[in-house]
Amino acid sequence: GAVVSQHPSRVICKSGTSVKIECRSLDFQATTMFWYRQFPKQSLMLMATSNEGSKATYEQGVEKDKFLINHASLTLSTLTVTSAHPEDSSFYICSAPGLVRDIQYFGAGTRLSVL
Amino acid sequence: GDSVTQMEGPVTLSEEAFLTINCTYTATGYPSLFWYVQYPGEGLQLLLKATKADDKGSNKGFEATYRKETTSFHLEKGSVQVSDSAVYFCALVDTGRRALTFGSGTRLQVQP
């Protein structure tokens, strides 16, 4: 079946640094990818929709300048958390829609800890 | 807006016990409903889905029925195994959207 690879699985960084998370569709093309964020014991919340070759669409309340999304190819989307702060510590997950309607394939997630 | 509410965990069961994880939803359109499962260290995987009222999704012994009258999609399994230990997410996709709306997840722990 379709596989989405997300890297890194875990990152610890100092406050003020930037962190890049990659999401790759390994055996299919994804013109759209979704980025979610999950706080402990809470739902996965959609942050943004990444569109290949065009600007990402951000959900209300998500800072565009804080969470930079680049979808430069049909198999790769990146999320960069700029000038990370402790409140950005969370679990970030990407997904890509498959060919079957309403089916999505998920990466394993990235746990970000900002010290 | 859309929302999904599922029971808090962790749920701890003995092997071969009956499992129910409750899920209710609110949506403005006619959503498709899903259960996703996340095993340790892995990404979310689709477990089952239902696209319209009264549909029953089933997979690996798990079942859930789309109940429009009660806006519910409870997950059930008659006899759980240790290998079913994971986090289970109820989710929906509303009409005209592609992104999922998730519940908070329920951790299931099955003991031998």
Strands B11-14 and B106-111: parallel
Band (pLDDT 50/70/90 cuts) for residue A83 is very high
- Determine the length of chain A: 115
Q: What is the chain A residue with the closest CA to B40?
A: A108
Which residues, in sequence order, are bridge partners of residue B81?
A: none
B43–A34 CB contact, under 8 Å: no
Q: What is the chain A residue with the closest CA to B47?
A: A103
Mutation for B interface: A31, A47, A102, most B CBs within 10 A: A102
| pLDDT tens-digit readout, A35-70 | 999 887 778 899 999 999 889 999 999 999 999 999
Q: Do A38 and A16 form a contact (C-beta atoms < 8 A)?
A: no
| pLDDT tens-digit readout, B68-84 | 999 999 999 999 999 99
Which residue among A4, A32, A102 sits closest to B32, beta carbon to beta carbon?
A102
